[in-house]
C-alpha cells in the first residue's frame, strides 16, 4: 500500500537527519514508530475518533444540503412574498399561518427534506454515543447555583460620563 505522508513543518528534516546519522532506512523508522505508537495507544479510542470524524463530515454535508433546500424551496415562497409585499402589511404566507414546509408545492422535496432531517438526527445520536464513550473519564461541568449569579442592579460600577 502506497500513501503520501505529510509531516509537520520541520519534522521531516529532523527525521531524515536522524536516519542519515544512524544509517537507517527512512521507511523502516516510520513503520517502527507507527507500530510503537499503535502498540501503546487505545485502538478502540482511535476507532471511535475516526468514526466521529466521518459522522461530523456527514452531518456537515447533510446540513449543507438541507440549507440549500430551505433557501431554494421552503423559505423561498415566503421570502418572495415578504420582499414583494406592501410596507407594513402582512405577507400572504404569514396571514395563512403556513409553516415553511407547508409552503412547498413539491411533495418530493418535502419527503427528501424530512429524510435528511431524520438522517441528521440519527447521526447526532451516534455522535452523542461516541462522545459519551470518549469522555467517560471526564467529570461533567458544574453549573454554579443561583447564589453565584449576579442579580440585576448588582455588579460592576458605572462609568461617570
Reported as a single tens digit per residue, the pLDDT across 2-22 is 888 888 889 999 999 999 999
What are the residue ranges spanned by the domains of the chain?
7-41, 42-134
Q: Where are the alpha helices (DSSP H) in the chain?
A: 11-22, 26-40, 43-69, 75-84, 92-96, 107-134
SS3 category, 140? coil
Please give the residue that has the higher pLDDT: either 121 or 51: 51
Q: Residues 23-40: pLDDT tens digits?
A: 999 999 999 998 898 888
Q: Residues 53-78: pLDDT tens digits?
A: 999 999 999 888 877 666 655 555 56
- What's the whole-model pTM score? 0.48
Amino acid at each position: 500500500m502506497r500513501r503520501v505522508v505529510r509531516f509537520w513543518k520541520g519534522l521531516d528534516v529532523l527525521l531524515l537527519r536522524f536516519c542519515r546519522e544512524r544509517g537507517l532506512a527512512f521507511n523502516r523508522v516510520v513503520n517502527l514508530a507507527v507500530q510503537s505508537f499503535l502498540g501503546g495507544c487505545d485502538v478502540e479510542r482511535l476507532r471511535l475518533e475516526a468514526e466521529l470524524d466521518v459522522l461530523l463530515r456527514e452531518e456537515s454535508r447533510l446540513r449543507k444540503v438541507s440549507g440549500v433546500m430551505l433557501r431554494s424551496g421552503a423559505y423561498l415562497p415566503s421570502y418572495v412574498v415578504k420582499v414583494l409585499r406592501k410596507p407594513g402589511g402582512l405577507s400572504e404566507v404569514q396571514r395563512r399561518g403556513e409553516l415553511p414546509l407547508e409552503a412547498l408545492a413539491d411533495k418530493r422535496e418535502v419527503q427528501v427534506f424530512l429524510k435528511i432531517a431524520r438522517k441528521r438526527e440519527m447521526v447526532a445520536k451516534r455522535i452523542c454515543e461516541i462522545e459519551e464513550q470518549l469522555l467517560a473519564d471526564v467529570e461533567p461541568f458544574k453549573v454554579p447555583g443561583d447564589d453565584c449569579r449576579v442579580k440585576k442592579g448588582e455588579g460592576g460600577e458605572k462609568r461617570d460620563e
